[in-house]
Chains A and B, each alone.
Chain A
């Protein structure tokens, strides 16, 4: 029995070390170095929910828009994989659309007005769905990329169903959306004529008009 137990423990420790190493090097998956959470948190009953900083998950609730919250405001204390609305945490890369949509009601607990807007398509109204069509990427006007649609018929606009989940645009641990870069001003606008030129041409034109009218007056 003992003989069997030792390699299991070793494996667990090894896995933990590997995950630690991965979590320090792989910054792309900052919040979820390993999935499922039970890999590290085998016994989740000892965890404390009233935590503000979790270094290993790169979560710092001392700053940002969610600075007033603790982990336990959204995550279950005994099982951080479980959220307060019953949904289960899945990393963004592995999650399906349904998983992402299941977190919406959690956000709605504190943001009911925004959620109402979202349901009415007044918040993040990107409801484009084109099942049979295709999109073509084009490098067009001043090098800016753009996707052309080739759709016989669009779907979704009349269905009144939001196309994107909250967490697709807002990071759940730092939800403020920073502004994107400003595109350069469209420089092909024609410049106005310089003021002295306008004055000169008006004087010349008026003189010409006067000459023509005098000529017309004396001719008959």
Chain B
């Protein structure tokens, strides 16, 4: 008897729970359910991971990430001053290191050489900016894999623009060469010397500037955070070189300076940002910042500018009339490792036209790809 009663009550309870669930699913708003699924702000409400604080400077609205360690909560003026002070410190440091290098050059080559004068002039030109992110902007990049020829010009430009150490083999952009019929990483090659070929795809891989960056979540000292415009940056003054973030990144976008970073006054880029291409300290992590020193002031990145075939596109993700939305709507796009759940903002797509490869029979003809296929089709039609 008791057993039957228990089973009955249990069944009734289960029924009640099921009914309650059904009622809640029917009555709940779709938006609320979507919020549970996607806790990150939706379109229009831009923001960094951890939240954003807005402030106004000269009538224009800017944003500071709440995870920014230089932010003073509730006191935007003070946080701006902190950032200014940091930029000043970093400028002094960069100038000091540049002057050391310039004096070495002058000693080696002699005082009268033009190189010596040029190096000294470069050191004086160094400006470290502290530009904040504008409100309503979320940067994104798209890359046409049909146009990309894997010429590595972006990798070279990146090294020069961002003052990356030349002696340690660090490159923020790596071009991976895959087979075209299946994008299998096992058959990849990054040491190729000739190309492009008909049956290969060239995928330049850099930081994907994810919406949920796993690298910033593991940082024990909060040396890396996401800016309100989506750029994940590293502050080399705070970084302790524990390399947790290198392990956490699924794309291999972060690199450690194992040696003191060599600063060459002749090839140093004087246009700097305090969280971007300012010369890094030893044993700190560095990564792609989408040329924060250019894009914050309204320019495009160095890789976009140098691309000889125009494969790269850079713009505001929320902009309905902008290039990124146009590409996603017109051609569709995919991201690397979607299963990692990081929501990258670096989109890859196969565009409408392809740059003719080296092994094309007649590269000046538009139908170099379908030359063989056309004949086959004709034969099939006759039969």
Contact = CB atoms under 8 A, between A and B. Distances in A.
B159 interface: yes
B149 A180 contact: yes
A121 B324 CA distance: 9
Given A113-B352, A121-B313, A151-B297, A182 B326 contact: no
A141 B312 CA distance: 22
Interface in A168-212: 169, 174, 176-186, 188-190
A151 B366 contact: no
A180 B202 CA distance: 14
B332 to A, nearest CB: 13
Contacts of A160: 321-322
Q: How many A residues are at the interface, by size bracket?
A: 35 or more
A114 B327 CA distance: 11
Contact of B169 (A153, A183, A189): A189
B58 interface: no
B363 A128 contact: no
Contacts of B362: 63
B108 to A, nearest CB: 17
Interface in A88-120: 113-114, 116-117, 120
Interface string A121-146: 11111111010000000111110101
Nearest to B327: A122
Interface stretch (B1-9, B18-26, B61-69, B263-271): B263-271
B143 to A, nearest CB: 11
Contacts of B247: none
A176 B310 CA distance: 13
B contact patch SS: loop
A148 B270 contact: yes
B151 A181 contact: yes
Nearest to B326: A120
Contacts of A213: none
Contacts of B78: none
Given A126-B310, A179-B355, A153 B297 contact: yes
A182 B152 contact: yes
B166 interface: yes
A17 interface: no
A141 B167 CA distance: 10
A65 B321 contact: no
15 contacts: A120-B321, A122-B323, A151-B299, A176-B363, A176-B365, A179-B151, A179-B358, A182-B151, A182-B152, A183-B156, A184-B193, A186-B155, A188-B168, A188-B169, A189-B169
Q: Which 10 A-B pairs have the closest CB atoms?
A: A154-B299, A65-B366, A188-B169, A122-B323, A120-B326, A154-B298, A183-B152, A179-B149, A124-B310, A140-B267
